Amino acid sequence: MIRFFKRQDKAVETNNGGLLKKLGSGLQKTRDHFTSRITRLFSTDGKLDEDFFEELEEILITSDVGVAATKHLVDRLSDEARRQGISDAEALMNILQREIIDILEVPAEDLDIARHKPFVILVIGINGVGKTTNIAKMAYMWKQEGRNPLIVAADTFRAAAIEQLTMWGERINVPVIRQKAGADPSAVVFDALDAAMAREHDVVLIDTAGRMHTRTNLMEELKKVNRVISRKIPGAPHETFLVLDATTGQNAISQVRLFREGVDITGLVLAKMDGTAKGGIIIGICHEFQIPVRFIGVGEGLEDLRPFDAGEFAKALFEDFA
């Protein structure tokens, strides 16, 4: 199994109960819908007949797991049941959990920001998904670990967006590189990377605009920002995170497709997992795109960001921490 975030594992060790509880409560809505129905289905002493698999399919689909991943899971389960001669539902529950973890564990290198200095992360996504908030959470997390982050306000489209980022920066005591609203995002990024190198920042988080009514312009703008970054620092950006709002369900899938046309997405941040009963979306996304989920957002506060760990996530999903 590939583990992400060794540093974070330490945090889990020292405060295991607390953080897992938090993750568990962040996933409460998903659990109420998905897990409780699954548990009920799997604990009935009914046979593993067509009805059983039909109901399983329905639960998965209505949890936003998506058609392809649902089909994959149902097929795997009925195959395993046949192969192992399993006839009662309860015995299949572990297999379902394992199959879900299998899907969620997209192979990827550790996200180790010490690999480059500065480690440059471009953060993209449509308006309102949670880019700015989750940039603040990431910067806060790294700051807590003794790193020296820099935030870049390259969403120059609205003055309010720059203000919002500046306020977060003040709150967590992380510098924010900004220019006036309407400035060229590439120019902001250009200056910011100079500053990052001069002041020896470890990690640079670049916030970008996400207005969708000018889709082509947005992609062109992102491509230009990318060019500026890689010209300034060869090999950068080291990560491009697409932020998705988990509450938008299947729409999140279309957003991955859309942004993939313009940029090379290396990781996903799934925000607002606390606000949806359809957390199954994460399964569908991993199955379809094979892009690793790096973080999940489970609230609006600074601490409400969890490095994504498939095993831990499945545990929080299937076990009751109440």
Among 304, 307, 308, 313, interactor with ligand GDP by CB under 6 A: 304
Considering beta carbons, is residue 158 or 315 the nearer one to Mg ion?
Answer: 158
Stretch that binds ligand GDP, among 122-130, 186-194, 212-220, 281-289 (CB under 6 A): 122-130
Tell whether the torsion through CA atoms of 291, 37, 92 and 3 is positive or negative. positive
Among 300, 311, 319, 320, which residue interacts with ligand GDP (rule: CB under 6 A)? Answer: 300
292 in contact with ligand GDP (CB under 6 A): no
Closest distance of CB 128 from ligand GDP, Å: 5
Q: Is 105 in the site for ligand GDP (CB under 6 A)?
A: no
Assess 271 for contact with ligand GDP (CB under 6 A): yes
Tell me whether residue 8 or residue 133 sits nearer to ligand GDP (CB atom): 133
186 binds Mg ion (CB under 5 A): no
> Under a CB-based contact definition with an 8 Å cutoff, are residues 206 and 189 in contact?
yes
Q: How far is the CB of 223 from ligand GDP (least distance, A)?
A: 19
Number of residues that bind Mg ion (CB under 5 A): 3
- Distance of closest approach, residue 129 Cβ to ligand GDP, in angstroms: 4
Q: Under the criterion CB under 6 A, does residue 130 sit at the interface with ligand GDP?
A: yes
Residue 195's Cβ-side half-sphere holds a number of Cα atoms within 13 Å equal to 17
208 binds ligand GDP (CB under 6 A): no
- Residue number, 76 or 211, with CB nearest to ligand GDP: 211
Q: Which residues pair with 306 in a beta bridge?
A: 296
The reply on whether position 132 binds Mg ion by CB under 5 A is: yes
Is residue 119 within 8 Å of residue 294, measured between CB atoms?
Answer: no
Residue 182 token pair: 């309407």
Query: In the bound complex, what is the minimum distance in angstroms from residue 310's beta carbon to ligand GDP?
Result: 19
In the numeric block, which tokens belong to residue 175? 């510098």
Residue 314: CA count within 13 A, CB half-sphere: 16
Does the footprint of Mg ion cover residue 133 (CB under 5 A)? no
DSSP per-residue letters across 133-196: HHHHHHHHHHHHTT--EEEEEE--S-HHHHHHHHHHHHHHT--EE---TT--HHHHHHHHHHHH
By CB under 6 A, is residue 297 in contact with ligand GDP? yes
* Cβ-proximal residue to ligand GDP, closest one: 297
Listed in sequence order, the DSSP H helices in the chain are: 6-14, 16-26, 28-30, 36-43, 50-62, 67-84, 89-104, 131-144, 159-172, 185-198, 215-232, 250-262, 281-289, 310-318
CB of 9 to ligand GDP, least distance (A): 21
- Supply 70's token pair: 């649902």
Helix (H, G, I), strand (E, B) or coil at 207: strand
Number of residues that bind ligand GDP (CB under 6 A): 19
Helix (H) or strand (E) segment spanning residue 299:
none
Q: Are 145 and 7 in contact (CB under 8 A)?
A: yes
Interface residues toward ligand GDP, by CB under 6 A: 125, 127-134, 210, 271-272, 274-275, 297-300, 304
Interface residues toward Mg ion, by CB under 5 A: 131-132, 161
